[in-house]
Structure 1
């Protein structure tokens, strides 16, 4: 409207000019021809025009007839811009070459005829403040609603998951109680078998009984270890010791089984690499990982055990050749009773719980364990804080 009226509002009463909803006779805004707003509305942009609009609007205009060498300004309708500032704003807007835009707190629009270039600037600081106020209030309301919902979710979720927590606690207690109760009959069966062997001599049946007793004893031990870990770390002994010696000792236990199965057992263990934690649990961890590798490595395969310092971390890696790895995420192998290949697990005598115990031991030592595919097998990598 200001452009169409040479940088000012029309002096005539807008209520008595034009017909509401009719387009300007001389074309679009910025044509240089005076357009009268309709009855209470600007015809082309539905702007709500009233007799107070000229007094409410803070604006100034600048025009030039010589390509921007000299500017004629009108700052009578604004107090926040002087004539020199108006000329500076106009020069910047003209340099941009855009018919409309924003500079500082002003929105501008320009029109150019054969005679002159006219630029009108309207102060939009109040509108900007309103937008910022609405945005700030909206953010505060959003944060308040988020906190309210969060509190409600916390209160409701505690009640919702309470049965699941109680079920888990009962399951842990059952495993602990069952493990201790199973120890007695296993010991009795073992003693009775030895008596039978003393009376009747050894046979394939007593040998089979001893083998099954060993499997049951191993399973009960692993279940009790998991139960202790779930109850808070299984009473880890926190002390600093030479972990390299512990790992070497655990690996040496499998030299004979590896030779029997024609497996190449390689080690690359850093000397005097110390860590803080429970030496017995770390020994058990290495034993479980190497035992798992021996079970699933085919004859003529290779197992490689590495222990080294990587920055502020100590890393343990047990890598072995393996056929028919399960598809998908290999970290599922750490889930309790998970078997990538049930038939092979049965043949090897595993219960799908050894790796779960290994993961629990690593987590109790504030470490992280992962399973990764290699070129011809699988690698279990555990990372610990090192000394």
Structure 2
């Protein structure tokens, strides 16, 4: 035994008491002896004796009464009763009252005593280890619960911040041009982000970005992208003239590409950025790894816009191109993050075809398209889902 325990021995018979005492000493117990029930109860103290051996036949009181009082004082203390063959019914009653074991008289075989004491001490040690383990587990569970609460509060704060950074939806600009979006994160925070704004009286700029991964790290990158663009706006006027539009679009992509490459977050992003020239009825745009491509809906139906360019944050050069598309009097532009494709069945080409069909059938209307794709009712989204629409009727 690793530490010495105290044992209380209550036995009037000298021979039995000596046999038990020697067996307990061999097991390294510190033995306190009592020759009567009253003496044993008087000596006993909770926490002092983890093990008690008592005879059921004592000169002053019944051993069952001694057992009952000890269990009332210290339920965790183990009690071994000594009984004669004629006291079998008392043994049964003792076990019902909480006795851990019993030994029959005459007590002559020390091995029997040692076996009973060892079994009880081993059981107590195991119970103590289990209790300590449960206490440690409960403490760790409390710590984990506290950490989860902190994380939930942080995520709630992050979600509020991200929502605060997003533009109002829908929002109407001069010339009856309306921008709107639906953003549904797969987790509490989103790796998708959209923004739009009016530059001067002529240009309406917008973008949709989809950062790789999910959760907090991806959401932080969307905030970095928003901050980088706002910082660029403070340094120079963007989209101040028609001639500046292509260069400004490329500068935005180059800026974000540099920012992502300079971080150690191992993140990349796809992006669609565009400018509506309300005076000339033209769309100027560039794509960086965008899948699916944006779609333009006119009276002739829905068609994917052409274009190509590498994702942001992977290559020093993206080979991005600024393209143009003429706009009729009535049109709708739809851009989706790749999470939308996860709502459809089939391979990539089949999913893109089904998405274009849904865009065509909805005529590019945001609410109608979201209802057709079950964006708002789909449970357990595998990826962030974002749809950005710009329209003029």
TM-score by length of 2: 0.29
Q: Point out the structure with the larger helix share.
A: 1
If asked which structure has higher relative contact order (CA below 8 Å, sep 6+), I would say 2
Q: Point out the structure with the larger strand share.
A: 2
